[in-house]
Amino acid sequence: MTRDQVATPATAETPALRARKIALSVFAATFVVQSVKFLLYLADGEIWGHQLLNLLGWKPGLLDFDGAYGHPGTTLLELAALFHFLGLPDYPSFALGTALLVAALTAACSALCFLLQPRSWWWLATAFLLTFSRFYIDATPPVAVVMPGVTLMALLSCWLWLQEKAVARSFAALLGTLIGILAATRLDVSLFVGGPLFVLFCYRAGRGALLPGLAGGVAAFFAGNPFLWFMPVQHLKDLYWKFSYHYAHYKGSVSLSALEWSFVMPLAALGMLWFLVQLRSPRKEEPLPRPVLLGYLALTLLAVSLLVSSKYQAVRYLYPFVTFWEVLLARFVLELTPDTCTFPLSAARFDKKTALALLGFIIPTQVLGYLWVFKWFGPRP
């Protein structure tokens, strides 16, 4: 039996049941952590809180490009509206809505990591990385959501690639819905990554997956974006204008500093390099499909090149792309350890190498990474 196979006697829990338990546990823990964090501080949180009031009251500032309009970020506004209807003020409502969506995406990522490698502690490392990521400290709400969201798209694409065609096709609407929800949150990066991954998925699953996937994506995008309900054509034009303005028409020029590059790229670069090294040493059993990872690598490099050529460069634009590589790097690191995941978790015992891998990777790179941000001073893009 290989490391990634699980014995499932009749009396044992199935991997699917364990994945659901993992998802629920991670969701609860992440929601608590992110709620506290976002209630204390959320970049541009006040702007988005005002946008919630603008949307609910149909105020003139609703379509202000200098405010929150044009990302679109409307899935967060819809979730925030639910908390606001319960009597919470605008900012706490938006912070809790953001925490809820981040927690759901993080939980799904952890569950998929378990399904991909059920004998590894990768799912636990992923839960910590996505819950305590140093990137959250200055990520705007849409970016905070698409960080685990893009990672989930990549992980789901990997998992679907490994399934039989009939099984994969049955999940076409789910993948499309995920892309649509994320596009209604942050359009540019979601379509930039989700579009090519969906094409790869259809190549693997067959043409029968195309229509359900597109239907799920379009339905989720419209349901998650109220602006499309009453001004669809104008809103799509506005979304394109917002992107093109920052890329090519921004007045002046804003470039990333060496400190910002050193904050965001080293771990991701190590993950990409580790993956490329593994390409030269084929394994009989590869738990993650190389076509998906190669496609994501190409998208990451293209995104970096586009950012470098942009007139307005902000380090947060890279967060969604590099987060997946940090999650993948954790998997590479854990492959060097002898331990396998055991249940119940209360009975788990970590080998010294595993403990050092988990603590040595997560704490310095994420928790202590917050101290690196505090070194920045002066105006930030």
pLDDT of 206-249, one tens digit each? 989 999 999 999 999 999 999 999 899 998 998 888 877 766 66
Is the residue at 380 inside a domain? Answer: no
Contacts for 286 with CB less than 8 Å, ≥ 6 apart = none
In whole angstroms, what separates CA 25 from the centre of its chain? Answer: 18
pLDDT at 259: 84
Expressed as residue numbers, the domain containing 364 is: 15-372
Say whether the peptide bond before residue 287 is cis (omega within 30 degrees of 0): no
Is the pLDDT at 324 greater than 50? The verdict is: yes
C-alpha 47/C-alpha 64 separation (Å) is: 11
pLDDT: which is higher, 335 or 190? 190
User: Taking phi first (over 0 means left), then psi (-120 to 50 degrees means alpha), and beta for anything else, what does residue 58 get?
Assistant: left
pLDDT: which is higher, 349 or 42? 42
C-alpha 85/C-alpha 265 separation (Å) is: 41
Is the residue at 2 inside a domain? Answer: no
Nearest to 302 by CA among 317, 283, 323: 317
Please state which of the ranges 29-38, 76-85, 133-142, 279-288 shows the lowest mean pLDDT: 279-288
C-alpha 252/C-alpha 272 separation (Å) is: 33
Is the residue at 3 inside a domain? Answer: no
Number of domains in the chain: 1
Tens of pLDDT, residue by residue over 104-126, are 999 999 999 999 998 888 999 99
C-alpha 381/C-alpha 379 separation (Å) is: 7
> Averaged over 258-271, what is the pLDDT?
89
Is the pLDDT at 254 greater than 80? The verdict is: no
Is the residue at 4 inside a domain? Answer: no
Is the residue at 169 inside a domain? Answer: yes
Nearest to 379 by CA among 255, 215, 202: 255
DSSP state letter for 317: G
Is the residue at 264 inside a domain? Answer: yes
Is the residue at 377 inside a domain? Answer: no
Is the pLDDT at 323 greater than 70? The verdict is: yes
Is the residue at 47 inside a domain? Answer: yes
pLDDT at 68: 80
Angle between helix axes 232-244 and 187-205 (nearest 10 degrees) is 110
| Two tokens, residue 367 | 């928790």
Nearest to 194 by CA among 144, 252, 245, 151: 151
